[in-house]
Structure 1
Amino acid sequence: MTLFRLAVLSLLLAPLPLHAAPDPHAARISRILKATPLIDGHNDWPEALAEKAKDARWTMDLTRLDPATYHTDLDRLRAGGVGGQFWSVWVSADLPQVQQVKDTLDQIGMVHSLAARYPQHITLVRTAAELRAAHKAGRIGSLIGVEGGGQIDGSLAVLRAYRQLGAAYLTLTHSRTIAWADSATDNPQHDGLTPFGEEVVRELNRLGMLVDLSHVSEATMLDALRVTQAPVIFSHSNARALCDTPRNVSDTVLRQVAANGG
């Protein structure tokens, strides 16, 4: 079973008011979460730690952090019943691409550090089988998503290196159109994917990495769906019919995603 076929969900849990009645569904939800790993497809915690904590992130206690500063810590992941977490290793699309590679490696190092420092909570995983094993052992499966094609600096060798380091998906673009793919939030230049962009999709298929179509233009979505031989994902997008913004996905594309098995 591929990572793709596991549920990729987002979870929002808030504490009950002091005198609220017990949730009649809580026991059933707990049983489901123990049996089936709940996977969050996108979390920017590594970048937030790099920006706010700087070098202290490598040694500070990450089990419980100030909720006014960070949306995530290990205690809250546990309390929320998260079974698998895709860490977004995001860097600014405005940086030179060689700097993007350097900063991507820094954030991948942070994800590896989490697993090394907190093995009782987190296990670094690359496959669905490894995720299920971590969940069965009572640990959160820790996954890596590279959030922007600019972060490979036009090199399939860099993409392969990310995979060797544990990356499980690549978002084809972030907020900027790049040399081989159009973004949803920038001026289009290629009417979707260039021939090299199509090669990137094929290489992702070969490596067993997921093609993530969040952030990309509709033309890029359609080109990727035409080329890919594996199901695609949208790690953090919604339906444009419900909220008409460029970052969301049209019904036309969603129907093709369903046909793709995504």
Structure 2
Amino acid sequence: MTTDLNQNPYLVRAQQLLCRVPLIDGHNDFPFIIRGLYQNNLTRASLNDLPIGQTDISRLRQGSVGGQFWSAYVPNPVHSDKESDEAYLECLRQTLQQIDVIHRMVSEHPDVFGLAQSAADVWKIFRAGRIASLIGIEGLHQIAHSPSALRMMHKLGVRYATLCHTKNNRYCDSAVDRHTSSPWSEYGGQTHDPGDEPSRNVRTGFHSLTLKYLTAVHGRIVDLSHTSEATQRDAIAISKAPVIFSHSASSSLTPSPRNVTDEILHQLKRNGGLIMVCFLRDLVNSADDANTTGSRVVDHILYIAETIGYDHVGIGSDFDGMLEGPLGLDDVSRFPELVADLFRRGVSEERIEKIVGLNTLRVMKQVEDVAVREQAEGSTGVLCDVVKPIWTAEQRQMLAEQGRTRGLRP
């Protein structure tokens, strides 16, 4: 991948395309870099040129980024067989801090960013010359077992939810957590002979309801990156709307529990969903291969496109969730070179437009439409938190007596 514009006609074509169609990256952990470097204190931060990481405003502009899903990532609680509510409440608190820092980043740089909450918003912000900023959470441990928190996060702009991260939770299993004692079995999960698979299945009780609810509440996208293959299979079968993998790759090219099998890819196609190819070296080639280049990312994009079609593949870098990206594709400034490599390999302009952004916008709009239809039909109820009683029996009796004086029964 060359950076010399004068010597690379493909790069010229790439830059022209990215002026017309927003390049939308499915996953970037820049907010976590801000947390680590500045403790979320943006008054101390210059986001134009950061001394560390793979993202800043200068490089976003160089990379012609049109839209970005910022991850409000918070790590899983420290593992134990019976993690406390307090540990999950701390995850929720930190999640709100990360959502807040994304909002402040956008509001303090209004000439650069705009908060997008719909596909239409993305187009409007992109055409105004700004970067459409979307929000995702990376694991349902971040909602602290609270549907109320999930609803409020949507109001704060969260538009996709990854079902889990590196640990199993009460909703689903992680691709990399082999803990099979099923600490959440009391919540309705079924156990089975695990073999190499984690221990539960998403198609039961509370799990299934939560998955449907994610989509039905105002159009939140279900993200299956980091989940086990069994979870992926069941979640896609349950979902009435397209799902995504926000940062994954092909397991046929690079075997990894984090990557996606051809069987799941074909199921994803039938669902109308999208896999956004990750740039992590160990997902596209080998963790110990220092010579991994950006061309390997293109290999994965093309393999997936040839397997299930160009309507179902996108870009999900995971920048700032890694120490080093592939050579030639090592930070957000290098996106045009990825597009140039697609041109060089003979991919048509129409298909590249789908890869860089149109597929993502299609999925967003379809999920929004499903949510509108589900709400209009009233086919999805409201999930409620488990709320502890606040009145004593005597207080309830006293209130009931007052009601009876008015001819009412509580």
Query: TM-score, normalising length from structure 2?
Result: 0.58
Aligned to 1:205: 215
1:64 has 2:74 as partner: no
**Per-residue Cα deviation, 1:5-46 (whole angstroms, up to 9, x for no partner):** xxxxxxxxx8737xx852112222122111111001000010
Contact 2:28–2:69 under 8 Å retained in 1: yes
Aligned to 1:127: 118
> Helix, strand or coil: the match of 1:87?
strand
> Helix, strand or coil: the match of 1:215?
coil
**Per-residue Cα deviation, 1:106-125 (whole angstroms, up to 9, x for no partner):** 00001000111000000011
Q: CA deviation at 1:198?
A: 1.4
> Helix, strand or coil: the match of 2:235?
helix
Amino acid of the structure 2 residue aligned with 1:79 = Q
Residue in structure 2 matching 1:165, options 148, 156, 170: 156
1:73 has 2:56 as partner: yes
Q: CA deviation at 1:202?
A: 0.9
Distance in 2 separating the partners of 1:114 and 1:194: 39
Aligned to 1:112: 103
Aligned to 2:24: 39
Aligned to 1:250: 261
Contact 2:139–2:162 under 8 Å retained in 1: yes
Contact 1:182–1:193 under 8 Å retained in 2: no
- Describe how 1:126-205 pairs up with structure 2 within 5 A: 126-187=117-178, 188-205=198-215
> Helix, strand or coil: the match of 1:25?
helix
Residue in structure 2 matching 1:218, options 216, 220, 229: 229
> Helix, strand or coil: the match of 1:170?
strand
Bigger Rg, structure 1 or 2? 2
Aligned to 2:301: none
> Helix, strand or coil: the match of 1:235?
strand
Contact 1:58–1:113 under 8 Å retained in 2: no
Aligned to 1:100: 91
Distance in 2 separating the partners of 1:205 and 1:169: 9
Q: Which moved more, 1:233-242 or 1:195-204?
A: 195-204
Distance in 2 separating the partners of 1:156 and 1:72: 32
Residue in structure 2 matching 1:27, options 2, 9, 12: 12
**Per-residue Cα deviation, 1:144-184 (whole angstroms, up to 9, x for no partner):** 01000111112211111110000010000000000121110
In structure 2, runs of 5+ residues without a counterpart are 79-86, 179-197, 274-410
Larger proportion of helix: 2
Contact 1:180–1:194 under 8 Å retained in 2: no
1:16 has 2:3 as partner: yes
Amino acid of the structure 2 residue aligned with 1:180 = Y
Amino acid of the structure 2 residue aligned with 1:238 = A
Amino acid of the structure 2 residue aligned with 1:223 = D
Q: CA deviation at 1:254?
A: 0.4
Q: Which moved more, 1:154-163 or 1:57-66?
A: 57-66
1:85 has 2:68 as partner: yes
Distance in 2 separating the partners of 1:247 and 1:89: 20
Work out the number of aligned pairs and report it.
245
Higher RCO (CA-CA < 8 Å; seq separation 6+) = 2
Contact 1:93–1:100 under 8 Å retained in 2: yes
Which 4+ residue blocks in structure 1 deviate beyond 6 angstroms?
Answer: none
Q: Which moved more, 1:126-135 or 1:50-59?
A: 50-59
Distance in 1 separating the partners of 2:210 and 2:58: 37
Distance in 1 separating the partners of 2:204 and 2:36: 33
Aligned to 2:251: 240
Contact 1:181–1:194 under 8 Å retained in 2: no
Distance in 2 separating the partners of 1:194 and 1:180: 9
Distance in 2 separating the partners of 1:140 and 1:78: 9
1:49 has 2:34 as partner: yes
